Structure 1
Amino acid sequence: MTNLFSSFDPSSSIMSLSLNWLSTFLGLTLIPLSFWFLPSRTEILWNLVTTTLHKEFKTILGPQNHPGTTFLFITLFMFILFNNFLGLFPFIFTSSSHLTFTLTLALPLWLSFMIYGWINHTQHMFAHLVPLGTPGPLMPFMVCIEITSNIIRPGTLAVRLMANMVAGHLLLTLLGSTGPSLSTWMISLLLVTQIMLLTLESAVAIIQSYVFAVLTTLYSSEVT
Structure 2
Amino acid sequence: MMAGLFSIFDPSSSVFSLSLNWISTFLGTMFLPYLYWASPSRWGVGWSGLTKGLYNEFKVILGDRNLGLGLMFVSLFTLISFNNFLGLLPYVFTSSSHLVMTLSLALPLWLSFMVFGWVNHTQQMFSHLVPQGTPGVLMPFMVLIETISNIIRPGTLAVRLAANMIAGHLLLSLLGNMGPSMFFSVIWVLISLQILLLLLESAVAIIQSYVFAVLSSLYASEVN
Which residue of structure 2 lines up, in the alignment, with residue 93 of structure 1?
Answer: 93
Q: Distance in 2 between matches of 1:190 and 1:197?
A: 10
Q: Distance in 1 between matches of 2:150 and 2:34?
A: 44
Deviation digits for residues 31-78 of structure 1 (CA, Å, limit 9, x no counterpart): 595662243332221210111001111111135x32322000000001
- Give the TM-score, by structure 1 length: 0.95
Which residue of structure 2 lines up, in the alignment, with residue 37 of structure 1?
Answer: 38
Find the residue that maps to 2:132 and give its secondary structure: coil
- 1:93-132 correspondence to structure 2 within 5 Å: 93-132=93-132
Which residue of structure 1 lines up, in the alignment, with residue 13 of structure 2?
Answer: 12
- 1:145-156 correspondence to structure 2 within 5 Å: 145-156=145-156
- 1:46-195 correspondence to structure 2 within 5 Å: 46-63=47-64, 65-195=65-195
CA contact (8 A) 1:97 1:162 kept: yes
Q: Distance in 2 between matches of 1:30 and 1:191?
A: 30
Q: Distance in 2 between matches of 1:58 and 1:119?
A: 24
Q: Distance in 1 between matches of 2:199 and 2:30?
A: 23
Higher mean alpha-carbon deviation, 24-33 vs 1-10, is at 24-33
- Give the TM-score, by structure 2 length: 0.95
CA contact (8 A) 2:59 2:67 kept: no
CA contact (8 A) 1:54 1:70 kept: yes
Q: Distance in 2 between matches of 1:216 and 1:182?
A: 45
Find the residue that maps to 2:66 and give its secondary structure: coil
Higher mean alpha-carbon deviation, 40-49 vs 94-103, is at 40-49
CA contact (8 A) 2:113 2:220 kept: yes
CA contact (8 A) 1:36 1:43 kept: no
Count of residues in correspondence between the two structures: 223
Structure 2, gaps ≥5 residues long: none
CA contact (8 A) 1:4 1:174 kept: no
CA contact (8 A) 1:21 1:93 kept: yes
CA contact (8 A) 1:10 1:18 kept: yes
Identity %: 65
CA contact (8 A) 2:96 2:162 kept: yes
Q: Distance in 2 between matches of 1:78 and 1:34?
A: 13
Amino acid at match of 2:42: R
CA contact (8 A) 1:84 1:205 kept: yes
Find the residue that maps to 1:67 and give its secondary structure: helix
Which residue of structure 1 lines up, in the alignment, with residue 201 of structure 2?
Answer: 201
1:152–1:34 distance in 2 versus 1, CA, 3 Å: closer
Structure 1, gaps ≥5 residues long: none
Higher mean alpha-carbon deviation, 102-111 vs 42-51, is at 42-51
